[in-house]
Amino acid sequence: MNILSKSKRLQVIASLAEGNSIRATVRMTGAAKNTVVKLLAEIGKACEEYQGRTCRMQMRRFTRLTNALSKKIDNLAADVALHFMHYNCCRVHQTLRVMPPMEAGLADHVWSIEEIVSLLEEAERSTLAA
């Protein structure tokens, strides 16, 4: 198994984060394809664990000591969706110093709770109209 130095790992991650394909990343960095794929899998697992921890720490529904999370799966799905909408669009992230959609160029301001509520109301109206 190929072991990459820290600087080479950062170079591979930066290349993938810029949107380059695995093949292009292999050509630009000189790392083996299997090594890049394994590193990508490690990154995915780390992101999954981080999001899971964030979800458990910030959502009261997941921090309860009982297993009765929700009587209805729809309520649980709505709670998770609302949590991540707030987490990504209403909070300025400490490491980015902006919210992720602003960093990606998808938004120009930090959203308020009222804006999220108005989106929900619009969705309800369009569902009732259909």
Does the residue 65 lie in any domain?
no
Which alpha helices (DSSP H) does the chain contain, by range? 6-17, 22-29, 33-58, 60-63, 73-89, 100-103, 113-129
The answer to whether 90 touches 114, Cβ cutoff 8 Å, is: no
d(CA 18, CA 96): 16
Is 99:93 a contact under the CB 8 Å cutoff? yes
* Assigned domain for 64 exists: no
pLDDT in tens, 94-106: 888 888 888 888 8
Q: Of 58, 81, 106, which residue sits at a domain end? A: 58
pLDDT average, residue stretch 73-78: 77
CA 98 to chain centre: 15
Number of domains the chain is built from: 2
Q: Is 38 within a domain? A: yes
State mean pLDDT over 1-25.
85
Same structural domain for residues 54 and 74? no
Same domain, 78 and 102: yes
Residue 1 to residues 16, 33, 35, 79, 95, Cα–Cα distance (Å): 20, 11, 8, 42, 33
Instruction: Tell whether 76 and 129 lie within a shared domain.
Output: yes
> Are 49 and 80 found together in one domain?
no
115 part of a folded domain: yes
Residue 63 lies in a domain: no
Residue 45 and residue 10 share a domain: yes
Q: Rounded to two decimals, what is the model's pTM?
A: 0.51
CATH of the domain at 25: 1.10.10
Query: In angstroms, rounded to a whole number, what is the distance separating the alpha carbons of residues 119 and 111?
Result: 11
Tokens 């969705």 belong to: 123
What pLDDT, in 10s, does the model give residues 24-71?
Answer: 999 999 999 999 999 888 888 888 887 777 777 777 666 554 445 556
Residue 4 vs residue 65, higher pLDDT: 4
Per the structure, the complete domain to which residue 116 belongs is given by 70-130
Shared domain for 49 and 88, answered yes or no, is no
